[in-house]
């Protein structure tokens, strides 16, 4: 079965948006609202196990602010999250977070090779648009046939819903696709939808379990900046290009 479609996660995979984008935006939103909550990098590492910003705030309150009470918690959390999203978009507009090594190059090579591309992420749609538009230009949003983001599906990752949504929207079978992920929740989600997955780790996820990954790499690499292979079949490739993706996709993983 030939490889036809690449489906990309966003946070942690395309860019290190968690530390330099989301975490900063959460803390700025708390401060602006006069809340004495401040998430450290260490705490955020733990909170990242909960996908979805609103669920993450609720988990934090339950575990670390058990005295906190509000008569309309859902709306309160939604309003914090709305502010957090607007701050995140502003940070992206200011160029706070670059793409990870190899991402822009691979997008260009995949497009030139006629591969179809899509996005499957838990984050809010406005955040995806802001990252892509500010790193690659507004027109790059059209490179992705489907942008599956946020609560367009009922269950966030690790459920497979967002990947299944993208597959259905593209009218493609899972076995013609490859997913790009960075986290345990991400690979579980992609696997649930029947996809093979390539992992690039980051500082929050390098200790995660990635059972069934086709390969686990430090990043996608560049011709002058080889990736480090953490797990996978030996290869001639030193950076991820279309030929390497085809090689991976042909494997039993
Ligand atoms: C991303 C998420 C999101 C972001 C924050 O996970 O879980 O919640 O951390 O974005 P994945 P929002 O990379 O697996 O898609 O605050 O917009 O939810
Ligand atoms: Mg991710």
Determine the distance separating the centroid of ligand 1 and the alpha carbon of 51, expressed in angstroms.
6
In the sheet where 229-232 sits, what is the strand order? Answer: 146-149, 116-121, 5-8, 177-181, 196-200, 215-217, 229-232
Percent of the chain with pLDDT over 90: 98
The whole domain housing 84 covers: 18-93
Q: Assess whether the C-beta atom of 186 lies below 6 angstroms from ligand 1.
A: yes
| Residues 109 and 45 occupy one common structural domain | no
pTM exceeds 0.95, yes or no: yes
Q: What is the pLDDT of residue 194?
A: 98
Catalytic sites, residue numbers: 9, 11
Distance CA 57, CA 72 (A): 14
In 3D, which of 214, 218, 168, 207 has the Cα closest to residue 191? Answer: 214
pLDDT, tens only, 2-61: 999 999 999 999 999 999 999 999 999 999 999 999 999 999 999 999 999 999 999 999
Percent of the chain with pLDDT over 70: 100
Residue nearest to ligand 1 atom 4, measured at CA: 123
* Number of domains comprising the chain: 2
Which of 75, 93, 111 is the endpoint of a domain?
93
What CATH number does residue 39 fall under? 1.10.150.240
| Residues 115 and 157 occupy one common structural domain | yes
| Residues 119 and 225 occupy one common structural domain | yes
pLDDT, tens only, 166-205: 999 999 999 999 999 999 999 999 999 999 999 999 999 9
| Residues 198 and 245 occupy one common structural domain | yes
Distance CA 240, CA 232 (A): 13
| Residues 213 and 117 occupy one common structural domain | yes
| Residues 48 and 112 occupy one common structural domain | no
Q: What is the pLDDT of residue 165?
A: 98
Say whether pLDDT at 1 is over 90: no
* Residue to mutate (ligand 1; options 123, 166, 188, 208; most atoms within 8 A of CB): 123
| Residues 137 and 26 occupy one common structural domain | no
Task: Report every protein residue that has its C-beta within 5 angstroms of ion ligand 2.
Answer: 9, 11-12, 182-183, 186
| Residues 104 and 49 occupy one common structural domain | no
What CATH number does residue 112 fall under? 3.40.50.1000
Say whether pLDDT at 126 is over 90: yes
| Residues 121 and 82 occupy one common structural domain | no
| Residues 62 and 118 occupy one common structural domain | no
| Residues 83 and 107 occupy one common structural domain | no
| Residues 230 and 190 occupy one common structural domain | yes
Q: Assess whether the C-beta atom of 197 lies below 6 angstroms from ligand 1.
A: no
> What is the pLDDT averaged over residues 225-229?
98
């Amino acid at each position: 079965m030939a490889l036809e479609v690449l489906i990309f996660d966003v946070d942690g995979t395309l860019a290190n948006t968690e530390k330099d984008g989301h975490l900063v935006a959460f803390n700025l939103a708390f401060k602006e609202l006069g809340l004495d909550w401040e998430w450290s990098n260490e705490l955020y590492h733990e909170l990242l196990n909960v996908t979805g910003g609103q669920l993450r705030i609720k988990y934090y309150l339950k575990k670390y602010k058990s005295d906190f009470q509000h008569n309309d918690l859902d709306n309160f959390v939604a309003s914090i999250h709305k502010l957090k999203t607007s701050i995140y978009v502003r940070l992206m507009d200011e160029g706070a977070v670059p793409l990870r090594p190899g991402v822009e190059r691979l997008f260009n090579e995949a497009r030139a090779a006629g591969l179809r591309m899509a996005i499957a992420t838990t984050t809010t749609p406005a955040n995806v648009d802001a990252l892509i538009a500010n790193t690659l230009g507004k027109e790059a949003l059209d490179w992705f046939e489907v942008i599956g983001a946020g609560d367009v599906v009922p269950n966030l990752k690790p459920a497979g819903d967002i990947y299944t949504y993208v597959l259905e929207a593209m009218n493609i079978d899972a076995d013609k696709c490859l997913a790009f992920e960075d986290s345990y929740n991400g690979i579980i989600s992609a696997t649930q939808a029947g996809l093979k997955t390539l992992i690039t780790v980051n500082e929050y996820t390098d200790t995660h379990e990635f059972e069934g990954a086709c390969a686990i790499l430090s990043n996608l690499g560049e011709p002058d900046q080889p990736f480090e292979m953490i797990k996978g079949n030996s290869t001639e490739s030193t950076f991820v290009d279309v030929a390497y993706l085809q090689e991976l996709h042909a494997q039993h993983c």
